[in-house]
């Protein structure tokens, strides 16, 4: 029997230190190019969408009796038609060229024409007059309204859009529609930028593929839901833009900034108030309950600062304009008389007004219960919940109109268009973060530590096996 001794095997220390932090690159997988049939189908869908928008604009031009809407319909029908031709002849479907043509025809051309000729709808004149009243008397409301044009159904913050007219006079830059558009596009672009910078692991590549805020704004402005109020001066689009900004900031877990956006939207119009519970529920998930309380306090403080001094200056005028008239109980009938369930119930059923208000309250309670039992965990989910609540409310309010549908439409589509990153919260309320940045490791650190442990264990086992004596 002869013993053989096999000496220790030297394990280079560099083999452990040189453990790769990058996983082996997989073999490239050949990707089949997009078939021409698929590209042709996408182009046909885009052309059909622009054709449908053109038909809608043309029908509005022929049907409506409001002069600014007729101007918009004529200009937008031409713009959407040209966009359809560009999309049909373009080599790339859903490109920026067709969207730019549509936005120019449906926003830029009618806006310039209406501002140059001094044509505006009643809402713009009411807001511009309220700015002058705010400077002169401290309240944006006419003390004794006796006709429809005297009523101002908006909250005091809306009068800020009329200050340029009161200060600068009759110049195109002071037109309220210009400032509506500036605030709307600015807030929506900022919301898209905030959403673009959010997300958890693996969202950087998605952010590179997602449209830039400028591209998202271009597509938003090209749609009839946004192009019409941008051109004719609808007061709802700035409110919706601030609501989107508040949701985006709440999804990022920024309580103070989200609270300021919440308060700014709530000081413009009553339709923004349902945003407060939804935004706070989202903040409680993404940043914790204390952050939600801080945001709520900020929003309430800003709203009180904007509304209470004006309400105390003339309580009777505030109640007549901002409370009774929006509900259809003012001295003059409200023009919001679209045949939706709330209006039909209030006008054709005995005691229908109380029934409509009760149904509205029950729907609000149902949405509030859903926020407690199943709070939204992403910005998209919060926007969907808010769109659902506002859609139900628009149907049940006694004084309502079809134009309020812009709220759920924009809320439902904007964050999908901007491709907001979905942030999933941990049970403790903190927002998850990446364990390691991709430029440094390419994988989370847990992958690197697992690989290092396996390599060291294998080297130690080989070393012990080499030290053991072998028998012949």
pLDDT on residue 335: 79
27-70 per-position pLDDT tens digit: 554 444 445 555 668 888 999 999 999 999 999 999 999 999 99
Please give the average per-residue pLDDT across 218-236, as a whole number.
93
Domain parsing of the chain, residue ranges: 40-119, 120-198+211-417
In the chain, the percentage of residues whose pLDDT exceeds 90 is 57
pLDDT band at 457 (very low <50, low <70, confident <90, very high): low
434 CB contacts (<8 Å, ≥6 apart)?
A: 200, 201, 444
Are 179 and 164 a contacting pair, CB within 8 Å? yes
CA–CA dist 260, 262 (Å, integer): 5
Tokens of 70: 């007729």
pTM metric for this prediction = 0.79
Q: Residue with structure tokens 């409200």?
A: 334
CA–CA dist 152, 235 (Å, integer): 12
For CA atoms 347, 351, 353, 357, give the dihedral sign: negative
pLDDT on residue 87: 93
159-207 per-position pLDDT tens digit: 999 999 999 998 999 999 999 999 999 999 999 999 876 544 434 344 4
The DSSP secondary structure of 255-322, one letter per residue, reads HHHHHHHHHHHHTT-GGGTTHHHHHHHHHHHHT-HHHHHHHHHHHHHHHHHHHHHHHHH-HHHHIIII
In the chain, the percentage of residues whose pLDDT exceeds 70 is 77
Q: What length does the chain have?
A: 472
CA–CA dist 76, 57 (Å, integer): 6
CA separation, residue 316 to residues 132, 142, 319, 347 (Å)? 20, 10, 5, 26
């Amino acid at each position: 029997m002869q013993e053989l001794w096999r000496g220790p095997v030297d394990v280079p220390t560099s083999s452990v230190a040189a453990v790769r932090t990058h996983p082996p690159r997989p073999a490239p997988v050949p990707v089949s190019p997009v078939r021409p049939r698929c590209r042709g189908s996408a182009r046909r869908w885009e052309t059909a969408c622009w054709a449908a928008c053109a038909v809608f604009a043309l029908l509005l031009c022929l049907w409506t009796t409001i002069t600014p809407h007729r101007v918009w319909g004529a200009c937008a029908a031409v713009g959407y038609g040209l966009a359809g031709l560009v999309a049909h002849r373009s080599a790339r479907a859903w490109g920026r060229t067709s969207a730019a043509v549509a936005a120019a025809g449906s926003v830029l051309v009618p806006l310039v024409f209406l501002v140059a000729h001094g044509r505006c709808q009643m809402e713009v004149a009411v807001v511009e007059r309220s700015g002058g009243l705010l400077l002169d008397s401290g309240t944006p409301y006419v003390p004794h309204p006796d006709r429809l044009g005297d009523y101002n159904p908006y909250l005091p913050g809306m009068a800020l859009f009329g200050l340029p007219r009161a200060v600068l006079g009759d110049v195109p830059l002071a037109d309220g529609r210009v400032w509506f558009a500036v605030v709307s596009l600015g807030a929506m672009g900022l919301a898209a930028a905030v959403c673009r910078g959010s997300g958890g692991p693996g969202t950087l590549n998605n952010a590179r593929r997602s449209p830039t805020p400028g591209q998202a704004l271009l597509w938003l402005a090209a749609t009839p839901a946004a192009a019409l109020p941008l051109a004719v001066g609808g007061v709802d689009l700035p409110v919706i833009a601030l609501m989107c900004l508040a949701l985006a900031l709440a999804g990022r877990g920024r309580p103070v900034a989200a609270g300021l956006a919440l308060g700014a939207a709530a000081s413009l119009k009553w339709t923004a108030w349902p945003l407060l519970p939804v935004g706070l529920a989202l903040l409680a998930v993404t940043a914790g309950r204390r952050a939600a309380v801080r945001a709520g306090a900020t929003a309430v403080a800003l709203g009180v600062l904007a509304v209470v001094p004006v309400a105390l200056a003339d309580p009777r005028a505030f109640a007549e304009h901002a409370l009774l008239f929006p509900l259809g109980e003012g001295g003059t009938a409200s023009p919001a008389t679209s045949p939706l369930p709330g209006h039909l119930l209030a006008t054709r059923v005995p005691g229908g007004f109380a029934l409509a208000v009760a149904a509205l309250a029950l729907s609000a309670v149902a949405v509030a219960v859903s926020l407690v039992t199943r709070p939204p965990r992403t910005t998209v989910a919060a926007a969907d919940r808010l769109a659902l609540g506002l859609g139900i409310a628009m149907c049940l309010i006694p004084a309502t109109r079809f134009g309020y549908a812009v709220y759920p439409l924009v809320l439902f589509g904007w964050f999908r268009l901007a491709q907001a990153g979905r942030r999933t919260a941990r049970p403790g309320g903190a927002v998850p973060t990446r364990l390691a940045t991709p430029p440094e490791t390419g994988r989370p650190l847990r992958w690197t530590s697992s690989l290092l442990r396996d390599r060291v264990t294998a080297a130690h086992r080989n070393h012990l096996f080499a030290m053991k004596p072998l028998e012949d």
